[in-house]
Chains A and B, each alone.
Chain A
């Protein structure tokens, strides 16, 4: 149900460490927002697009992943055409498309494990301050992945119960029972975690 957007492959971007890719994304966004030159934006767009397409996605999948964001960008660009000069609209639109493509390329070429390792590193200063524990973040993430299929089958069961009684399936009558039934498990799950000493408390 929850399959990662990562694509297996061995492109140049796949081999690059996560940190370099994330820093490149930050640097690119700063550069593109500071620059108003059409040539810079166009170059960034072509390079980002090339990197994204070289990640090993099929054309259809590649389009599907960025399609929705591009739709929003084009819609706002169409509105902007009435308000701003054409060259400025071109700069704004190319900048956003370049950033979206580069971000999508980073996502497609990075595994969840690699991201988690990086997040653990990023959390270290906060851990020293005693605000958050990296182990807790990983545990919470694991719990989400573990319980999404359970909660989804609970949703289906509640939907079937509605149909069996001839009731219309409405969000209002589904969300309440779904949340109560799910959160009621919290005590049992917390007890199970503590019994195994996962959090060393």
Chain B
């Protein structure tokens, strides 16, 4: 890993911290407020690719673990890993990696714009939603004892917001890809 990759990883982790400081938006038709930070997984994967994106999130989790209040709402410390949503937080690293793998596989420079949008959206949905929930929901079920089906049903409330995040992340990732492409340079 060269110094530039190291710096990109650190800068992206810092961007994820700043996304947590942006006030969450509430939309009438979606039950839960949308925090910009939760888009970080999709953005990191689509912009930095699998390896650097996953490292950026590992670094971010390190900040959480050593007691910096970097999660949105000023949360942090080891307590968040011990709580019921610990699986979602640890799952961010894997989710970013998968998002990055798919984005690297399907998005190339010189493709028609629509194909790039589709590639980033697929990567965001599969990595940032499906993989993340596949890790987070069994964790909630295991630590709280609630049946997996109940947890899954409850999680449906987050789905519209997550799809909207995937759409925003797709547009933002495509804008970065057009303005300052980093994905093709594999780390």
Chain A contacts to B: CB under 8 angstroms:
1-6, 25, 29, 65-66, 68-69, 72-73, 76-77, 79-80, 83-84, 88-89, 92, 96, 99-104, 106-108, 110, 112, 115-116, 119, 136-137, 139-141, 143-144, 147-148, 151-152, 155, 171-172, 174-176, 178-180, 182-187, 189-190, 193-194, 199, 201
Contacts and interface: CB of A to CB of B under 8 A. Distances in A.
- If over half of A's interface residues share one DSSP class (helix, strand or loop), that class is named, otherwise mixed; here it is helix
B180 A4 contact: no
Contacts, number: 198
B82 A186 contact: no
Interface in B90-133: none
B30 interface: no
B76 interface: yes
The 6 A-B pairs at the shortest CB distance, nearest first, are namely A107-B77, A143-B10, A69-B83, A103-B78, A176-B175, A115-B66
Given A4-B67, A119-B62, A140 B168 contact: no
B146 interface: yes
A141 B22 contact: no
Contacts of A137: 59, 62
Given A80-B144, A171-B36, A182-B11, 5 more contacts: A80-B145, A103-B81, A141-B59, A175-B43, A183-B47
A2 B77 CA distance: 13
Nearest to B154: A79
Contact of A141 (B63, B81, B182): B63
Given A2-B17, A83-B150, A201 B78 contact: no
Interface in B44-92: 47, 59, 62-63, 65-70, 73, 75-85
Given A92-B145, A99-B82, A107-B79, A147 B10 contact: yes
A38 B182 CA distance: 53
A189 B9 CA distance: 12
8 contacts: A72-B83, A76-B144, A96-B83, A103-B78, A144-B17, A171-B39, A190-B4, A199-B6
